[in-house]
Structure 1
Amino acid sequence: MKNLQQITVIGMGLLGGSVTLSILRSLNGVKAVGYSHRESTRNRARELCIASEIADDMNEAVKGADIVILATPIYTFERIFKEIASSIKPGAIITDVGSTKVLPHRWGEKIFSKDVAYVGSHPIAGSEKSGVDYARDDLLVGAKCIVTRKKKTNEEAVKTLVQFWAALGSRVSVMSPAEHDRIFGSVSHLPHVVAVALVNASNFEQLKYAGKGFIDTSRIASGPSNVWSDILLSNTSNTARGIDRMIKQLSTIKEAIEKDDQRKLANLLEKARTKRAELIDYKISKKELL
């Protein structure tokens, strides 16, 4: 960490812009370089002083960088890895903020030379909002961040990234990319699918009568469709298994309702209420909820 001089972030949306702002706030003397393929985004990032420097060329942006972070949709990673591979300096660390990890590890291992380390990262931070205008320097403070490694992943690079995300205020855990994708298939990707299905299950005339509970439950369906289609298609088996489990749960509830089985229905509702209460207590104890 003490040798870091430049960190480059490719992608100046909510999360990418928040990372560069967090670097400026937390890592004194480290140059934060940002890049976006859209000229309008680059200009807006300059207006907002999102980074030390906003580059107009992606390869120029990564030259000299000690860490390069991709904050773009997942299915752009392979192409970007190939484009920047010849401009990355030996010893650099490549990471990303994507929500799935098995595919990025596969691409990184295939594309980068042995003197460049790919390590996965997934800050659990963000909102349904998107775009550089919503970036903020405290988005990562108190948030979980998963760093992913395989058996052959450079251990020093892993340690550096753990320290980097911790320096930005995140609570860091390390796991394999396969474990990451299994977990987040259940607790992140499946909820998004459910929120989408919930909204699409009613017509707009019905939705006009929705209360705060519906708005809260369906909030994540407002996420960018291009980002979320990439996430779901890059974690297909885990997401599909989650959908199967959800269908089974819905079928059980449906059966209890159809059979007018009040005891079974009450038990299902109480089980969920109790489990969620335990989850809230745990999150509060870990200072993950106020």
Structure 2
Amino acid sequence: MTTIAIVGTGLMGTSLALAIKSSNLKVDIVGTDYDSVARSGAQKSGAFKKVESRLSNAIRGADVVVFATPIQAMREMMESAANDFEEGCVVTDVGSSKKVVLQWAEEVLPKHVSFVGGHPMAGKELSGPKNADGTMFKGKAYCIVPSVNAERAAVSSVTTIAEAIGAKPFFIGVDEHDSFVAAVSHLPFMMSVALMGTASKSANWDDIAQLASSGFSDLSRLAAGDPVMHRDICVTNPEPIVAWMDSYIRELYELRNMLAKEGGPDPDALHEVFEEAMNARARWKAGILTKIDRVTSDIPSFAESMGEVFMGRRGMEAQKKFFGRLKDDPANKAKKK
């Protein structure tokens, strides 16, 4: 049976394990983490067949290895595991920055493995395996950023996992990924941190806090995120984050100038800006600008179509054997009768 090893059993690693376990992939899932508390929580989640204390024990024999550690720890983990990867192993990650991770993979990983960068656009402000949620990936984009030397079958394997957990595979270049994600994920966190800092550093915060309600809670929620994870994101993806922060500051300053206009704000101009933002958000929530939802039931799945482009139908049959038979495969059920 195919074995998937997940390195890092925190929120993302354990959530991914739960999602895979409840999917139609028939695989064994092994976890490992340097933190004994994370290992214990992962074991209690029931998502893993076993949780190893040693990295090498988890890696050896694995067909797929997923790095779900903080980004800054990935290079060290890759180096430590370099001699333990099986021939033809598919290696991937779930990190929020892709350029540095792909660079590390190129420099550190052995040539007999294929690295395919991955980033599910899902998460929580909470951390740890106790907060894991196997449903968090459903309907979310799953960015797939193959390395230059990745085998086509490896790309298809990661795509299959993404689809199996209910996510929507989204192929994207490394530079585009790091810029676009900075806009919709990293910038909102920085905004949340700035808002929390602006309000809480006020001399009147004790009184202000008593008035803060749902709006403030919604906008400051991300500031409750894992400091280690966000530190690593900022350290590994600073340029795109700064660029989007500059754009946001310009936008905010334009709003500031509208309010500070001599003679008072122009009500019509303000209404137009607010209505434009409201409509833009409504279009986004309605998926009007999203293409990945426009799939009909008679069109092959993303994994199937990409797999057939890369490997042909025979290659896809081999790929299905690689991941084991689907639990609900009629042919498989017939054999059991």
What's the TM-score, normalizing by structure 2?
0.80
- Residue 251 of structure 1 aligns to a residue whose secondary structure is helix
Q: Residue 54 in 1 paired to residue 54 in 2?
A: no
Question: Which amino acid in 1 is paired with 2:102?
Answer: H
Moved more, 241-250 or 44-53: 44-53
Given the alignment, which residue of 25, 31, 35 partners 1:34? 31
Q: Distance in 1 between matches of 2:271 and 2:234?
A: 33
Instruction: Check 1:132–1:279 CA distance in 2 against 1; reply closer, same or farther (3 A cut).
Output: same
Contact 1:150–1:176 (8 Å) recurs in 2:
no
Cα RMSD after superposing both structures: 1.8
Q: Distance in 1 between matches of 2:148 and 2:177?
A: 15
> Structure 2: which 5+ runs fail to align?
295-337
- Residue 282 of structure 1 aligns to a residue whose secondary structure is coil
Instruction: Check 1:283–1:31 CA distance in 2 against 1; reply closer, same or farther (3 A cut).
Output: farther
Query: In the alignment, what sits opposite 1:195?
Result: 192
Given the alignment, which residue of 246, 256, 259 partners 2:258? 256
Query: In the alignment, what sits opposite 2:77?
Result: 80
Q: Distance in 1 between matches of 2:133 and 2:224?
A: 19
Moved more, 106-115 or 42-51: 42-51
Instruction: Check 1:28–1:266 CA distance in 2 against 1; reply closer, same or farther (3 A cut).
Output: closer
Query: In the alignment, what sits opposite 2:178?
Result: 181
Q: Residue 237 in 1 paired to residue 242 in 2?
A: no
Question: Which amino acid in 1 is paired with 2:274?
Answer: L
Contact 2:10–2:42 (8 Å) recurs in 1:
no
Question: Which amino acid in 2 is paired with 1:129?
Answer: L
Query: In the alignment, what sits opposite 1:109?
Result: 106
Instruction: Check 1:32–1:156 CA distance in 2 against 1; reply closer, same or farther (3 A cut).
Output: same
Moved more, 251-260 or 35-44: 35-44
Q: Deviations over 1:63-98 (max 9, x none)?
A: 011111111110101111100010011100111111
Q: Alpha-carbon deviation of 1:23?
A: 2.0
Given the alignment, which residue of 218, 221, 225 partners 1:219? 221
> Structure 1: which 5+ runs fail to align?
none
Q: Residue 209 in 1 paired to residue 204 in 2?
A: no
Q: Alpha-carbon deviation of 1:220?
A: 1.2
Q: Residue 156 in 1 paired to residue 153 in 2?
A: yes
Question: Which amino acid in 1 is paired with 2:243?
Answer: R
Given the alignment, which residue of 115, 119, 141 partners 2:116? 119
Q: Alpha-carbon deviation of 1:280?
A: 1.4
What's the TM-score, normalizing by structure 1?
0.93
Q: Alpha-carbon deviation of 1:140?
A: 1.9
Question: Which amino acid in 2 is paired with 1:233?
Answer: V
**Aligned residues with identical type, % of pairs:** 29
Q: Alpha-carbon deviation of 1:116?
A: 0.7
Moved more, 183-192 or 256-265: 256-265
Moved more, 13-22 or 72-81: 13-22
Contact 2:117–2:147 (8 Å) recurs in 1:
no
Question: Which amino acid in 2 is paired with 1:37?
Answer: Y
Given the alignment, which residue of 132, 144, 147 partners 2:144? 147
Q: Deviations over 1:17-43 (max 9, x none)?
A: 011112222245411001111112212
Query: In the alignment, what sits opposite 2:317?
Result: none
Q: Distance in 1 between matches of 2:73 and 2:24?
A: 28
- Residue 33 of structure 1 aligns to a residue whose secondary structure is strand
Contact 2:67–2:93 (8 Å) recurs in 1:
yes
Q: Distance in 1 between matches of 2:105 and 2:274?
A: 44
Contact 1:24–1:52 (8 Å) recurs in 2:
no
- Residue 86 of structure 1 aligns to a residue whose secondary structure is coil
Q: Alpha-carbon deviation of 1:150?
A: 4.2
Given the alignment, which residue of 89, 94, 100 partners 1:92? 89
Query: In the alignment, what sits opposite 2:230?
Result: 228
Contact 2:20–2:161 (8 Å) recurs in 1:
no
Question: Which amino acid in 2 is paired with 1:154?
Answer: E
**Matched pairs, number:** 284
Instruction: Check 1:96–1:173 CA distance in 2 against 1; reply closer, same or farther (3 A cut).
Output: same
Q: Alpha-carbon deviation of 1:147?
A: 0.6
- Residue 94 of structure 1 aligns to a residue whose secondary structure is strand
Instruction: Check 1:278–1:97 CA distance in 2 against 1; reply closer, same or farther (3 A cut).
Output: same
Moved more, 259-268 or 227-236: 259-268
Instruction: Check 1:219–1:53 CA distance in 2 against 1; reply closer, same or farther (3 A cut).
Output: same
Q: Alpha-carbon deviation of 1:143?
A: 2.0
